[in-house]
Amino acid sequence: MSNPLEKVIISLCKLPGIGRKTAQRLAFYIMSMEESEAASLAQSIIDLKKKAKYCSLCFNITDKEKCDICENPERDHGIICVVEEPSNIVLFEKTGYKGVYHVIGGNISPVDGITADKLKIKELEERIKKDKVREVIIATSPNTKGELTAQWIAELLKNYNIKITRIAYGLPIGIDIEFADEVTLSRALEGRKALNE
């Protein structure tokens, strides 16, 4: 396989969520870029691999000892939002959330050999012991693994004098109710809010 275009397509196909057609589109786009743009893209990937590391406190991705969120004195360090992966932080940041985060690195999944000790849950407990935390928001996915992980964390932290909350789930904007499953509808009912308060 000496064809450089095919090499790029095969490499792009290894990325999650990228099929052959998308990889081909991206490869042709990269081929049409100015050489300086392509070199800049390649260098940014190399820099990511060489310089990016995990924050020593929350396990977000950074190029320093602590990430910008953990270092920011304007953030409310008394509220910790527990997320599965660093990519989740990007989504929560768009909401205007002003607390801090803790990335546990996945979910408990005994079937896959992922136990609580393989995640960053003990590190969360250590933060709660050291810092003045008032609330832990558990923001794991609304699936079996996410629920198991949320319950594990809640059980672990129940003896601390802090508020433990779970993000609410419900119907996404724009969906017709007839297309919602019973679990989603059940969560929507549980998380309902009064309109006249």
What CATH code would you report for 72-166? Answer: 3.40.1360.10
**160-178 burial, b if ≥16 CB within 10 A, otherwise e?**
eebebebbeebeeeeeeee
The confidence band for 14, taking pLDDT boundaries of 50, 70 and 90, is very high
Sheet harboring 135-138: ordered strands across? 99-103, 76-83, 135-138, 163-166
**CA 55 – CA 59 distance, rounded (Å):** 4
Domain 4-51: CATH superfamily is RecR Domain 1 (1.10.8.420)
Condensed to tens digits (0 to 9), the pLDDT of residues 19-47 reads 999 999 999 999 999 999 999 999 999 99
Burial, 143: exposed, middle or buried (Cβ in 10 Å; 0-12, 13-18, 19+)?
Answer: exposed
Strands 61-62 and 53-54 turn out to be antiparallel
pLDDT of residue 182: 76
pLDDT of residue 177: 67
* Higher per-residue pLDDT: 107 or 187: 107
195 pLDDT more than 60: no
CATH fold match for the domains 4-51 and 72-166: no
The confidence band for 102, taking pLDDT boundaries of 50, 70 and 90, is very high
168 pLDDT more than 90: no
Say whether 81 sits in a helix, a strand or coil: strand
The confidence band for 141, taking pLDDT boundaries of 50, 70 and 90, is confident
Q: Are the CB atoms for 165 and 134 separated by under 8 Å?
A: no
User: Taking the CA atoms of the chain, what radius of gyration do you get in angstroms?
Assistant: 21
Domain ranges of the chain: 4-51, 72-166, 169-197
